[in-house]
């Protein structure tokens, strides 16, 4: 039987793919931990969709989210590996296709949505609210990626930052789309 606990992290260190051991508080470890949090948040959105009475009409959205979870898992592996060892371990970064897929999905949802004329509050159906939370986690990841990109040149490819920026747009649009499909009016910000 393989044990879940290894005891190798008991002293506050963990290993990157390739073996380099770092403190668990290191920005690299923190960053892929944030991606893991975002992935779990998407799991929550999927659970809300699956338990929805309208789950049939949201099956394509649920499928998109499942695909995104796999992409984020790959991104976590990419972030957990030193750049010079990514080829050795066949760890790929974010592709131009990953970015284009998000843009296509955003554009398709926007075609169905009413025009946005005011700022909206994160509210509505549970799936939509959880999607807004995913959006804010995504923005936090983006801020940390920008900082890492400044402090550790070459650790991130440019597609990584573009993807994360586009992903937060996807979550914003998806939250609106879920509320729209589930018949919940958007809650507008009032000064």
The 8-class DSSP code of residue 58 comes to G
Interval 161-176: pLDDT, tens = 999 999 999 999 999 9
pTM of this prediction?
0.92
Contact between residue 165 and residue 103 where contact means Cβ atoms under 8 Å apart: no
Beta carbons within 10 angstroms of residue 161's beta carbon: 16
**Six-digit token pair at 143?**
């801020």
What pLDDT was estimated at residue 58?
85
What pLDDT was estimated at residue 19?
85
Contact between residue 110 and residue 173 where contact means Cβ atoms under 8 Å apart: yes
What pLDDT was estimated at residue 56?
75
Q: Please classify residue 154 by burial: count the beta carbons closer than 10 Å to its beta carbon, then call 0-12 exposed, 13-18 middle and 19+ buried.
A: exposed
What pLDDT was estimated at residue 11?
87
What pLDDT was estimated at residue 54?
72
Interval 29-44: pLDDT, tens = 999 999 999 999 999 9
Low-confidence ranges of the chain (pLDDT < 70): none
What pLDDT was estimated at residue 61?
92
What pLDDT was estimated at residue 89?
92
What pLDDT was estimated at residue 3?
81
Q: Please classify residue 43 by burial: count the beta carbons closer than 10 Å to its beta carbon, then call 0-12 exposed, 13-18 middle and 19+ buried.
A: middle
């Amino acid at each position: 039987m393989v044990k879940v606990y290894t005891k190798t992290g008991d002293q506050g260190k963990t290993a990157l793919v390739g073996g380099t051991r770092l403190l668990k508080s290191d920005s690299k470890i923190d960053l892929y931990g944030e991606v893991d949090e975002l992935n779990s948040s998407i799991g929550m959105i999927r659970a809300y969709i699956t338990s929805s009475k309208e789950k049939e009409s949201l099956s394509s959205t649920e499928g998109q989210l499942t695909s995104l979870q796999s992409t984020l898992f790959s991104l976590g592996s990419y972030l957990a590996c030193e750049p010079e060892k990514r080829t050795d371990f066949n760890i790929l970064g974010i592709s131009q296709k990953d970015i284009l897929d998000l843009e296509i999905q955003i554009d398709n949802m926007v075609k169905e949505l009413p025009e946005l004329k005011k700022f909206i509050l994160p509210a509505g159906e549970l799936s939509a609210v959880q999607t807004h939370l995913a959006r804010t986690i995504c923005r936090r990841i983006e801020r940390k990626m920008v900082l890492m990109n400044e402090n550790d040149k070459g650790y991130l490819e440019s597609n990584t930052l573009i993807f994360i920026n586009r992903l937060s747009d996807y979550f914003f649009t998806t939250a609106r789309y879920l509320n729209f499909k589930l018949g919940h009016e958007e809650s507008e910000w009032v000064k």
